[in-house]
Structure 1
Amino acid sequence: MAIDYEALFRAFQSIVGRETMTDDEIGSTFKDLMSALVHFDHVVVFAYRGKERPIDLFRTFDPDENVVFVTLYQAGPYLLDPFYHTAVERLEGVFRMRELAPDRFFSSEYYRTYYIQTGLAEEIGFFVPLPEEITVVLSLMRKQDSGPFLAKEFALLKGAEKTVAKFVRRYWGSLAPRFEVQRQSGANLGKRGSKGEIEEQAGDAVWRELNLTNRETAIVDLVLRGHSSESIGLKLNISTGTVKVHRRNVYRKLNISSQTQLLSIYLKMLNRH
């Protein structure tokens, strides 16, 4: 599609002179700006801080879609999401999901069990790091019927990267108090220390309760995120054979025989935290 300059100018005009905006106003303005550049089916915006449950800032889903994209996601699957891990690493820029996903992500049990429910052909995210270890990720999504973003469309989004980052920092630049409210409400997945910091991620606690070693925990976490044995070996600086031995030991300890069962145990245990 051609750039809709009239729509673009209207979106910019709507924020001229605005000191503050609500989440819906910020999200709707972002949606209108991006709609002037490319076609997409959905927008969702999450704020991430370290190991804490992400905060849902804006979304365009109907109620049924919201269950999959937001409610289920926040309940635990976000811990396996490439976008989550990229946000925690504090990377900045515009990225396609397939750029960030591990080598076996699209054949992983996480993808087949959870992500495929989204019905997406592609997802592109604007990653904007903020102070106090917070990263806002603004995702543009296309369903299967719409197909993936073209190279020229991705180039347009890359060109908007700095503008979007400034916009986010201007209106969503002070999100730390919201994480504190969430922390006090007990909505996070994690064990807290005396000062309130999350000392142990819920996913880590799951494996600890199942008596896995640190090395086994690291390996099964990477397995569930979609890494092959070869990729895990490179990340942990061990041989592929050693990775496979550890995986067999984990399966024996848990009395399971498949990644499907591994993910099932993981998600079931997460719901207890």
Structure 2
Amino acid sequence: MINGSGFEWQESVSQLINVLQRSDFAASFLNSIKAISDFDSAVIMAYGVGPTPKILHDQLDDEYKDAFYDRYLKGAFILSPLYQSYKNNANGFFHINDAAPEGFFDSEYHQKYYCYSGLIDQVFYLKQFGAGVAIVVSLARTRKLPPFSRLEKMALKSIESIIISLVAKNWEKLANDEYKFCDYLNKAFENFGRSVLSKREKDAVNCMLRGSSSKSAAREMGISTETERSYRKTIYNKLNVCSHSEIYHLFFKSLEFADRGEDCDPLSLLWHSAKISH
């Protein structure tokens, strides 16, 4: 579903230059990319300018807006391949398969957020500004369209440098230090369970929450799959859960306490609160 021609894309870029840093830039920017390949769900957001992503522009179907604003922005973003790519200082163009860990499409995150959002495929451009600030341009397809073809991904990759340059120029002010805030939710992710788990068990939990399979987590941690699975059993016992799904639920419940202190384990605060309420 490659659209238009190279000439149409060049024409749209020349028009974009005229609207840089204007309020209508974002919409024109996304529409110009459709001259290369179509999509029906798009979001431009900034990471690192607040405790949650700052939405700069969205083109979301009303049917799926709740999944984004009520789930993604309220904590699910921490586990997303896009956010993890940002934390790993990635730059450029990516397909979801390139960014997601092995096992992601069978993970709780994929089932509880990604599928609920209606997305069947996704590509994104990521521009790091430094000072912990980055812009991500997410282009996705819901069930109304087929997945991106190999040729479409190649076409979108071919305009990577132009897209990144336009993003850098239009949102360059976001790199200013005045926009930086403490990322409580990211701290909550780092601290979740640390009051009861060993460092290696914490590493295993982080991999599980990001959707990694045992094999993928073991490779990331530099251990055998059997050792990683033994960590999972210990984690289940220490957290008093019986499944990956329950850990996922426990993590999101603990985010209610994410702003109580940078060095606190939100899980211990959740458990303490539960004792008091009883």
Judge which range, 68-77 or 200-209, deviates more. 200-209
Local SS of the residue matching 1:102: coil
Deviation at 1:156, TM superposition (A): 1.2
- Equivalent position SS for 1:201: helix
Q: Distance in 2 between matches of 1:44 and 1:128?
A: 14
1:76-155 correspondence runs (5 A): 76-155=75-154
- 2:211 maps to 1:216: no
Q: Which amino acid aligns with 2:86?
A: A
Cα drift, residue 107 of structure 1: 0.5
Cα pair distance change 1:169/1:140, threshold 3 Å: same
Pairing 1:228-267 to 2, within 5 Å after superposition: 228-267=213-252
Q: Tell me what 2:261 maps to.
A: none
Structure 1 residues 3 and 19 mapped into 2: Cα distance closer, same or farther (>3 Å)?
closer
CA distance 1:50–1:84, shift in 2 (3 Å): farther
The equivalent of 1:29 in structure 2 is 28
Other structure's SS at 1:15 match? helix
Structure 2: unaligned runs, 5 residues or longer: 259-278
Residue of structure 2 equivalent to 1:57 = 56
Which amino acid in 1 is paired with 2:36?
L
* 2:6 maps to 1:11: no
Q: Check 1:86–1:140 CA distance in 2 against 1; reply closer, same or farther (3 A cut).
A: same
For 2:229 and 2:50, the matched residues in 1 are separated by: 28
Distance 1:263 1:180 in 2: 34
CA contact (8 A) 2:21 2:171 kept: no
- What letter is aligned with 1:134? V
Give the length in aligned residue pairs: 257
How far is 1:136 from its partner? 1.1
Which amino acid in the other structure matches residue 105 of structure 2?
Answer: F
Alignment deviations for residues 208-242 of structure 1 (CA, whole Å, 9 cap, x no partner): 35x22221111011012121212211111122222
CA distance in 1: counterparts of 2:39 and 2:19, whole angstroms: 27
Please give the alpha-carbon distance, in whole angstroms, between the structure 1 residues aligned to 2:103 and 2:49: 24
Counterpart code for 2:170 = Y
Q: Distance in 2 between matches of 1:260 and 1:96?
A: 26
| Structure 2 residue 7 is the aligned partner of structure 1 residue 42 | no
Q: Which residue identity does 2:212 align to in structure 1?
A: H
Q: Deviations over 1:130-151 (max 9, x none)?
A: 1323221101111123111111
8 Å contact from structure 2 (residues 77, 83) kept in 1: yes
Give the ranges of 4+ consecutive aligned residues of structure 1 lying more than 6 Å apart after TM superposition.
none
Instruction: Determine which of 188, 192, 203 is the counterpart of 2:189.
Output: 203
SS at structure 2 position matched to 1:208? coil
Partner Cα distance (1:4, 1:113) in 2: 38
Aligned-residue offset at 1:5: 6.1
Change (3 A) 1:175 1:61: same
Q: Is the 8 A contact 1:48 1:88 kept in 2?
A: no
Give structure 1 stretches of 5+ with no counterpart: 191-199
Q: Which secondary structure does the structure 2 equivalent of 1:256 belong to?
A: coil
Partner of 1:271: 256
- AA partner of residue 79 (structure 1): I
* Deviation at residue 11 of structure 1 after TM alignment: 3.2
- Are the equivalent residues in 1 in contact too, given 2:19–2:25 (CA < 8 A)? no
Please tell me whether residue 189 in structure 1 is matched to residue 189 in structure 2.
no
Amino acid at match of 1:67: D
Contact 2:16/2:29 (CA < 8 Å) preserved in 1?
Answer: no
Report how far residue 100 of structure 1 moved. Answer: 1.3
Q: 1:75 to 1:36 in 2, by over 3 A?
A: same
TM-score when normalising by structure 1: 0.85
SS of residue in 1 equivalent to 2:192: helix
CA gap 1:111/1:60 in 2 versus in 1, 3 angstroms = same
